[in-house]
Structure 1
Amino acid sequence: MAVNKIEVETTGIKRALKKFNTFSAVSQYIWNGFDANATTVKVDFIKNQFNGISGLVVKDNGYGINSKKLQYKFKNIFESNKTVKKRANKNSSHIRGENGIGRFTFFTFSSRAEWTTIYEDDGVNYKYKIIMDASNLDEYIDTEPEVTTETVGTTVEFMNFQDPKFDFDEYYEYMILEFAWYLELNSENNYQLILDGTAINYSSILENKQKKTYYFEETQSCFDVVFCIWNKKLHEEYSKYYYINSKNIEQFKENTTLNNKGDKFFHSVYIKSKIFDDFRFEDDAEQISFINGKDSKEYKFIIRKVDSHLKNMRNPYIKEYTKTYISSLKKNGAYPKLDNKNALDRFREESLDKMIETIYSAQPKIFTGLNIPQQKTLVRLFDMTLQSGEIDSLYKIIEGVLDMQVQERDELANLLEYTKMSHITKAITLIKDRLQAIADLKQLVLNKDLKANERDHLQKLIEQHYWIFGEEYHLVTAEEPDFEEALRRFIYVLRGEKHSKGSIKIDDKNKQREMDIFAVQRKLDGKIKKSIIVELKHPAITLGSKELQQVKDYFNVIDKEDRFKGDNIEWIFYLVGNKFNSEISGEIENAKSHGERSLAYNVNRKKIYVKTWSEIFTEQEINYNFLQEKLMLQQEIFIKRSSNKTANEITTEQKNNTAIRPKEIVI
Structure 2
Amino acid sequence: MKRISVAVGADHIDSLARARKPLLAVIELIWNALDADAKKVAVILTPNGLFGLDSIQIEDDGTGIPPEEFDSGFGQLGDSWKRRSERTKVLGRALHGKKGIGRYRALSLGGSVIWKTRFEVDEQVLQYEIAFDAGDRRTVTATDPAPSSERPGTIVTISNPSPKLETLEFDVVKPELTEHFALYLRQYPNVELRYDGSVVNPTELISRTTDIPFDFMAEDGQLAPQILTVIEWRVPLERSLFLCSRDGFSLRETVAGIQAPGLQFTAYLRSELLEKFEAQDSIEIELGDLGKLLELTREKLREYSASRQAEQAAEQVEEWKQEEIYPYEGIASDAVEVAKRQVFDVVAQNVEKYLPDFKGSKKKSKQFTFNLLRQAIETSPSSLRKILEEVIGLPKEKRDQLAILLEKTSLVSIINASKIVSDRLEFIQGLKSMLYDSPYRDKLLERKQLQRLVAENTWLFGDEYLLMNDDESLLNVLKKHLGNNGYSIDEGLIDFTEDVTFEGGGTGIVDLALTSEPSADENLPGTVLGKTLPRSGVDPVHNLVIELKRPSQRITPAVLKEVRDYAYAIARDERFHSVPARWTFWALSNAISEQAQEEAMVKNLPPGVVYQSGIVAGRNYEYTVIAKTWAQVLDQATQRLNFFRTHIGYSPSFSQGREYLNAVYRKFIPVEAQTSGDSATLVEIK
Fold shared per TM-score above 0.5: no
TM-score, with structure 2 as normaliser: 0.39
TM-score, with structure 1 as normaliser: 0.40
